[in-house]
């Protein structure tokens, strides 16, 4: 499913982040390998950034791991940084930016799951100013692991469900208007994760935000994307597709909800069920991943 020219109502976006003192620049200095945000040796200031800091990633290929809540003044991941910012899997942690967020071309912000209890929990990114995403925010294959979750496929019996029914025909789950659930794992592939992005002012998306499931013999279902902003623009993509199948069946699509006051967004929005990749078609209703839900709230 592809949707363009959305004009959507703001559901809610209240950000209360206090920045103590004058902002100062804190630049990531580890060029490669894996480093922790909480290690002061990885920062130009020799201190872990806090609410008053403007954080900058300029060069390198490092994987930067967040292990707890991060609250900063602004975040700029430039197009010369080709590494990845990620969250430690299974740990409750969010990203709170008091002013502007930039995820530029070549940059990746990865959203692992924080919990697999119930319908699962992904990540929340809260921005008090504007957000520009020309790079990638991804929760691809970062939902429930193989054969886990409310819509899981198991015992080689087909793809997982979420926003629609996977080929195993388990009932859909999660919220249409406030999607936060993880996608379920198929018998041989993980589901998509969950991303919630709350922006007080304008969100410009020329890159991608995705929560797709992995392909597999019996594929997982797509995850969740929930966007809240005052203004929404760009030509990028939102994708919560289910996984393609190579054996018994594909996974269902996930759920996408976008709530904004004004929109000129003309990109693509899809939460489709998976297909058989050999010929790009779905062989039969018994094996297809159900089309899922994309929710818009219009003014």
Residue 10 inside a domain? The answer is no
Residue 190 inside a domain? The answer is yes
Residue 18 inside a domain? The answer is no
Of 142, 178, 148, nearest to 160 by C-alpha is 148
pLDDT tens-digit profile, the chain (299 residues): 333 332 333 333 333 444 345 678 999 998 888 899 999 999 999 999 999 999 999 999 999 999 999 999 999 999 999 999 999 999 999 999 999 999 999 999 999 999 999 999 999 999 999 999 999 999 999 999 999 999 996 665 678 999 998 888 889 999 999 999 999 999 888 999 999 999 999 999 999 999 999 888 889 999 999 999 999 999 999 999 999 887 778 899 999 999 999 999 999 999 999 886 655 444 333 333 445 555 555 44
257: which residues sit within 8 A by CB, 6+ positions away?
A: 175, 176, 177, 178, 179, 225, 226, 227, 294, 295, 296, 297
Query: pTM of the predicted model, to two decimals?
Result: 0.89
Distance (Å, rounded) from C-alpha 204 to C-alpha 100? 12
Cβ(221)–Cβ(254) under 8 Å? yes
Residue 13 inside a domain? The answer is no
Q: Find the helix or strand (DSSP H, E) in which 268 lies.
A: strand 268-270
Residue 3 inside a domain? The answer is no
Q: Give the range of the structural domain holding residue 157, as residue numbers without chain letter.
A: 24-296
Residue 256 inside a domain? The answer is yes
* Structural domain count, the chain: 1
Residue 104 inside a domain? The answer is yes
Q: Find the helix or strand (DSSP H, E) in which 82 lies.
A: none
Residue 7 inside a domain? The answer is no
């Amino acid at each position: 499913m592809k949707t363009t020219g959305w004009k959507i109502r703001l559901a809610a976006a209240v950000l209360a982040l206090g920045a103590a003192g004058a902002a100062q620049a804190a630049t990531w200095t580890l060029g490669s390998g894996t480093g922790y945000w909480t290690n002061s040796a990885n920062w130009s200031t020799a201190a872990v950034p806090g609410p008053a800091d403007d954080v900058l990633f300029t060069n390198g290929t490092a994987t930067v791991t967040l292990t707890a809540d991060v609250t900063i003044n602004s975040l700029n991941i430039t197009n010369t940084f080709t590494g990845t910012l990620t969250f430690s899997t299974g740990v409750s942690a969010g990203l709170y930016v008091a002013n502007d967020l930039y995820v530029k071309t070549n940059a990746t912000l990865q959203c692992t799951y924080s919990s697999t209890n119930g319908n699962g929990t992904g990540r929340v990114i809260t921005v008090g100013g504007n957000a520009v995403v020309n790079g990638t925010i991804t929760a691809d294959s970062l939902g429930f692991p193989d054969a886990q979750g409310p819509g899981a496929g198991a015992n080689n019996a087909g793809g997982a469900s979420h926003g629609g029914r996977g080929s195993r025909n388990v009932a859909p789950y999660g919220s249409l208007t406030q999607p936060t659930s993880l996608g379920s794992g198929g018998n041989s592939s993980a589901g998509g994760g969950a991303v919630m992005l709350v922006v007080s002012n304008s969100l410009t998306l020329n890159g991608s935000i995705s929560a797709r499931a992995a392909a597999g013999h019996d594929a997982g279902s797509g995850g969740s994307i929930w966007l809240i902003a005052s203004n929404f623009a760009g030509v990028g993509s939102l994708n919560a597709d289910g996984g393609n199948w190579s054996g018994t069946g594909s996974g269902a699509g996930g759920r996408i909800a976008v709530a904004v006051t004004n929109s000129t967004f003309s990109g693509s929005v899809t939460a489709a069920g998976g297909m058989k990749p050999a010929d790009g078609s779905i062989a039969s209703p018994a094996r297809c991943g159900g089309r899922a839900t994309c929710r818009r709230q219009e003014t």
